[in-house]
Amino acid sequence: MIGAIVAGLTGSINPATATGGTIVTSGGFKYHTFTSSSNFIVSGGTLSCEYMVIAGGGGGGNGGGGAGGYRTGTGLSLTGTNAVTVGAGGTGCTSANNSTVGNDSILSSITSTGGGAGKISISPVAGGSGAGGTAWGSSGSVTTTAGAAGNTPSTSPSQGNTGGAGGLLGSTYRGGGGGGGAGAVGSAGGISQGGNGGAGSSSLSTWLSATSTGVGGFIAGGGGGGSNGTPYSSGGSGGGGAGGDTGNATAGTANTGGGGGGVYGNYPASSGGSGIVIVRYAV
């Protein structure tokens, strides 16, 4: 009798359902994964959702591109049709200083800021995570810049981290700084090698495993800075592109928000990876 009453009550609630993205159920949760812009549509009520919103990574220059902003949270009430924007990655330099920041990703009221852009001979650009600093000029007339700020515009908790500074003075050959990642700042450039990109975040590795996304349990790594020869810098764990020398940097991994790898000074640098949006709720 009690079971029948419970079943009857349950049937009368008419719980909300949702469509949109690639849907999987794991561990008592339903996940909706968006790798391109679309809609998250809730029918029959309101859902209290958790979210991961990652913007596109910034393009590289001499410094590595910053990872796209990384925002997560709980208790987001969604009903009806909710537009989802998945930001594209920024482009790397194909001539002096024409790299671009990553594009924002948006879910309802939540906006993650695109990753900062690395530059060749001017200061890098801030973003969700900031791009790595630059180093240019000849011996005796050298200019270096600090890494750009992350978490711009500011949110709480932070969207990302600062890029590493450009290479050390005292040599004609200097490396670019690594771009900031969601989990760590980028490393500073050295006398001839670029700094490694900052690691991405593994705080929601369970989500990444359930949805087959991210790289090795991490997401939103910064791009490596440009180097004058080997060893080249590494991209940050979670999709950051590796730095290079004469145009052989690698791009940030698609749908991770990874920053693009930088180059020593010979174009092109590499582009950032596109972002991703994941929504989950209990079932």
Alpha helices (runs of H) in the chain, residue ranges in sequence order: 2-13, 205-211
Q: Is 0.85 topped by the overall pTM?
A: yes
**Which residues are CB-neighbours of 205 under 8 A, at least 6 positions away?**
214, 217, 218
User: What CA–CA distance (Å, rounded) separates 119 from 98?
Assistant: 8
Which candidate, 106, 266, 128, 146, places its Cα nearest to that of 200?
Answer: 128
The number of residues making up the chain comes to: 283
- pLDDT, position 11: 39
Residue 77: beta bridge partners? Answer: 48
- pLDDT, position 139: 57
Cβ neighbour number for residue 130 with a 10 Å cutoff:
38
11, containing H or E segment: helix 2-13
**Structure tokens, 247:** 């145009």
* 74, HSE (Cβ side, Cα atoms, 13 Å): 3
- pLDDT, position 9: 37
- pLDDT, position 167: 83
Are 16 and 29 within 8 A, CB to CB? no
Which residues does the chain have with pLDDT short of 70?
1-14, 137-142, 168-173
User: What CA–CA distance (Å, rounded) separates 66 from 124?
Assistant: 10
- pLDDT, position 14: 43
208, containing H or E segment: helix 205-211
